[in-house]
Structure 1
Amino acid sequence: MAMVMIVIRDMPDRFHGFLSSVTLEVSPNVFVSPRMNPGVRERVWQVLTDWYNAAPQGSAVMVWRDLNAVGGVGIANLGDPPRQLVEADGMWLVRRRGLSSEFAP
């Protein structure tokens, strides 16, 4: 079992209520579970995905420990995240939206 963190932004109240029932809200719209097994994590994400597909609004990102993923972190998101994740040499880099694909000096 691994720590799971879910952050939501501009989502309907039912997302907040559901996440509050299965995780701990440590800061506004930041939800964590210190020991969530993969089956529960997948079911929670499926509920969020189904609701989002029915009425797309806002965004959500979920991160968890995944030793088989880039940098040891599994990442899933819904909506348009304000940052873009780019894999480079076995780690994640973050690129802000609107910047060119080349890094500035």
Structure 2
Amino acid sequence: MSLNAEERRRTAEELRRNLTLTALTDQQVAADLEWTPARLTNTLDIENADPVDVWQLRDYLAQAFRDTGHEPVPFTVLTDRSRAMARAWFALRTAPRHDFMPTN
């Protein structure tokens, strides 16, 4: 499963938009995923990213939204239907969760 140029552009835009809206920092995301900052940047840019990393980041961001009672900006390429196809090609990993501290 490979994405064409337009799908890569849209996916990168959706990942960045969701990251911005979570209010999580790049450092928090990289730490939660146990990635280097460079790996996070590469995955957000998507161009030469590992597809497994892209899916893991997508799932991490979606879960971060749900954990705060919100829904992420919809992913138009990385959908549940395309996940089924991706599983046939890649060994997808479960995304960790960000530990949101309750505010008083």
TM-score surpassing 0.5?
A: no
**TM-score, normalised by the number of residues in structure 1:** 0.38
Flag the structure with more relative contact order, 1 or 2, with Cα contacts below 8 A and sequence separation at least 6: 2
Q: Which has the higher strand share?
A: 1
**TM-score, normalised by the number of residues in structure 2:** 0.38
